[in-house]
Amino acid sequence: MPNGFVFEFLFYLFGLIAVVSAAIFVTRRNPVAAALWLVNTMFCLAALYIMMDAQFVGAIQVLVYAGAIMVVFLFVVMLLNLGLPPSVADLKGKGARIFALLAGLIMLAEVMVLVRQKLPAELAWLPRETNVTTPITDSLFRTYLLPFEITSVLLLVAIVGAVVLAKRRG
Amino acid sequence: MTIAAVLMLVQHAYDAQVPVHGAPWLWFTIIKILVVFTVLMVTIAYLTLAERKISAWIQDRHGPNRVGPRGLFQPLADGLKNIMKEETYPSAAYGPLFILAPVMSFIPALITFAVIPFAAPLPTPWGLVDMSIADLPVGFLYILAIASLGVYGIVLAGWSSNNKYALLGGLRSSAQMVSYEVSMGLAAVSVLLLSGNVSLSSIVATQIQTGWFAFPLLIGFFLFLVAAFAETNRLPFDLPEAESELIAGYHTEYSSMKFSMFFIAEYSNMVTASALLTTLFFGGWAVPFWTTVDTAPWHWWKTLITLVFFMIKTGFFLFLYMWIRWTLPRFRYDQLMSVGWKVMLPIALGYLVIMAAAVLGLEMAGIAPTARLGGFVPIYWAILAVLNIVLAILVFVVLDRGRLVSPAYARVGAVELAELRAMAMRRPPLTPAQGD
């Protein structure tokens, strides 16, 4: 991983854009604009992954989230021609808001604790591979084959369930 | 030399581990970006002329022939006209996205070309320079990722125009692109099976050693070709801008340079798709039957020859795009969707399984991809090619039974005739309108 001044500058720049876009995303009332700000966040995350030499994860981030999932979101938003909702807040009532604030603070504390921990030495520096897919396929299809397959079955169940629910209502 | 020194310092500031006296890659990258961008823009400008000339040739007329000798300066006149035209802003349009949409279709179309290797590496006094702007280790995935973003421009143009025809065009485009992306990715996975790496330079290197992938992956090539036509919104898949139904589809409300940017995006998508077809299935910049040029030690004339060959191959696919555009009529929308999901996707999935099994079988039989039978016949390649031809015959003869690929002039098949008759029987009799 490079460690020069420009690298650090770019790291914080992309991080800042990601956080700001995420904040704008949750406060927009227009669903299409909100979706596009989310795409912007995804892009910055992909840039951060690639800067940290996780190029496969970066490419998949753009391909799957920005290129497929968000396109389908936009498709649905446009097809249904959703207007502006009366209020952007999902949380109604004082109790729910206080609970959300507490949950947020707990998560922030967790992140703070994690940031203070040192990375294990072997994680901090991995040699650069010429074939970037090999390490990922190794762990997906050898070490963690069973959990991986179970996850895919879970997704399949979700899809079949969605189809069944949609059919029943009609 | 001072500029080189400054660039070296910038490079050092980015990555302090790279020694300051190393090759100034940033310098080379900037030059490559400028050259490739310029060449691409000029190519796109002249592709519009080529399109009009080829269409004229196919339809037996002259085509543009007034500006300059034989109409050669027509693209310049078109460009000037597009800049000088009035820009219109529909009052009901959603402003920010209406302006952003042409940019969002233009930029992904241009930056996809960044990873395509277009010639053999060029040796310079500062070391070997790769003839691609960025030889990413995830090259092919990068192309899929960026190509999937092109749809945003079209969809947002359609939505922000606040026009029903534009919106329909945008919706059609997003459905079409999502559908065909799956088949495109699956067809390309078969290439990755043979090359064993996703970086485009290593895909080219494998093809130099074993032979072009177009023959051992014949069906994969055709699936990719069809999906590439659909992804670039070209005829017979240009439903998003079908003139007879949607005026001009997603760019109905656009004028002057913003309209032109959609066209530049379309043509640069075509160039990238052609270059990608060349790289994945036709050996990239490799010169057939001339291994001296394709292998090290590198020399500047090798770079030149391979560049010319890359351009010829890419040019052929560009011509194919235009040839098909002026030959085939447009699909109907339901046909487009059923071809995508009911034909392309099952074939691509089944093909991937069969090819993976074949590659595994050849590996277990101990046949190396580089093995030559009797010192000449590439046996690995030949076995896969024969398998593909058998599969193609199976697909066309057994699976299809003359329903899908029956030519337009053929008589209606028995099955189809029965279906049509049943439909006619089911239809309620026409009732006279009120007041008749």
Three-state DSSP class for residue B115: helix
Closest CA of chain B from A5, distance in Å: 5
CB-based contact B146 A4, cutoff 8 Å: no
CB-based contact A71 B148, cutoff 8 Å: yes
- Asked if the C-beta of B197 comes within 8 angstroms of chain A's C-beta atoms, the answer is yes
Nearest CA in chain A to B18: A2
Question: How far apart are the C-alpha atoms of B66 and B422, rounded to whole Å?
Answer: 55
Chain A residues touching residue B12 (CB < 8 angstroms) = 4
> B104 CB contacts (<8 Å, ≥6 apart)?
B149, B152, B153, B156
B364: which 2 tokens? 């277990």
**What proportion of chain A, given as a percentage, has pLDDT over 70?**
82
Instruction: Read off the pLDDT of residues B43-66 as tens digits, 9 standing for 90 and up.
Output: 998 998 999 899 899 888 888 888
CB neighbour class for B216 (10 Å; exposed up to 12, middle 13-18, buried from 19): buried
Instruction: Read off the pLDDT of residues B78-134 as tens digits, 9 standing for 90 and up.
Output: 888 888 888 888 887 777 888 888 888 888 888 888 888 888 888 777 667 778 888
β-bridge mates for residue B129, sequence order: B122
Chain A residues touching residue B181 (CB < 8 angstroms) = 67-68
> B317 CB contacts (<8 Å, ≥6 apart)?
B273, B274, B277, B278
CB-based contact A75 B149, cutoff 8 Å: no
CB-based contact B138 A56, cutoff 8 Å: yes
CB-based contact A55 B136, cutoff 8 Å: yes
**Of the partner residues A6, A63, A130, the one whose CB lies closest to the CB of residue B141:** A63
CB-based contact B144 A72, cutoff 8 Å: no
DSSP for B121-157 reads: PEEETTEEE-SSS---TTHHHHHHHHHTTHHHHHHHH
CB-based contact A2 B15, cutoff 8 Å: yes
Instruction: Read off the pLDDT of residues B318-327 as tens digits, 9 standing for 90 and up.
Output: 999 899 888 8
Sign of CA dihedral A158, A159, A160, A162: positive
Chain A residues touching residue B167 (CB < 8 angstroms) = 78
Question: How far apart are the C-alpha atoms of B284 and B277, rounded to whole Å?
Answer: 8
pLDDT at A35: 85
Closest CA to A66 of A35, A25, A20: A35
CB-based contact B17 A3, cutoff 8 Å: yes
More confident site: B363 or B314: B314
Residue with tokens 């989310």: A38
Among B9, B10, B11, B14, most A C-beta atoms within 10 A, so best to mutate, is: B14
* φ and ψ at residue B128, rounded to 5 degrees: -80, 130
Number of C-beta neighbours around residue B287 at 10 A: 19
Sign of CA dihedral B55, B58, B63, B69: positive
- Asked if the C-beta of B49 comes within 8 angstroms of chain A's C-beta atoms, the answer is no
**What's the pTM?**
0.81
**Of the partner residues B14, B147, B155, the one whose CB lies closest to the CB of residue A74:** B155
pLDDT at B21: 47
Closest CA of chain B from A105, distance in Å: 35
Number of C-beta neighbours around residue B334 at 10 A: 8
B308: which 2 tokens? 């010319």
Instruction: Read off the pLDDT of residues B251-270 as tens digits, 9 standing for 90 and up.
Output: 778 888 888 888 888 898 89
- Asked if the C-beta of B19 comes within 8 angstroms of chain A's C-beta atoms, the answer is no
Note which residues in 114-153 of chain B have CB less than 8 A from chain A. 136-138, 141-142, 144-149, 151-152
- Asked if the C-beta of B7 comes within 8 angstroms of chain A's C-beta atoms, the answer is no
More confident site: A88 or B273: B273
**Of the partner residues B13, B175, B181, the one whose CB lies closest to the CB of residue A75:** B175
Average pLDDT, chain B: 81
pLDDT > 80? residue A122: no
Confirm if B90 and B163 have CB atoms less than 8 A apart.
Answer: yes
Average pLDDT, chain A: 82
Q: Is the ipTM of this complex over 0.95?
A: no
pLDDT at B299: 79
**Of the partner residues B12, B159, B197, the one whose CB lies closest to the CB of residue A131:** B197
Please confirm whether the linkage preceding B96 is cis (ω < 30° from 0).
Answer: no
B142: which 2 tokens? 């990068």
Question: How far apart are the C-alpha atoms of B390 and B384, rounded to whole Å?
Answer: 10
Count residue pairs from A and B with Cβ separation < 8 A.
Answer: 107
Which letter, b or e, does each residue of B402-423 get, where b requires 16 or more Cβ atoms within 10 Å of its Cβ? eeeeeeeeeeeeeeeeeeeeee
Instruction: Read off the pLDDT of residues A69-112 as tens digits, 9 standing for 90 and up.
Output: 888 888 777 777 666 666 656 667 788 888 889 999 999 999 88
Amino acid identity, residue B84?
M
pLDDT > 70? residue B195: yes
pLDDT > 70? residue B392: yes
What's the average model confidence in pLDDT over B236-265?
79
Number of C-beta neighbours around residue B155 at 10 A: 31
Question: How far apart are the C-alpha atoms of B283 and B214, rounded to whole Å?
Answer: 9
CB-based contact A78 B171, cutoff 8 Å: yes
Chain A interface with B: residues with Cβ < 8 Å: 2-7, 10, 32-33, 36, 39, 55-56, 58-60, 62-63, 66-68, 71-72, 74-75, 78-79, 129-133
- Asked if the C-beta of B170 comes within 8 angstroms of chain A's C-beta atoms, the answer is yes
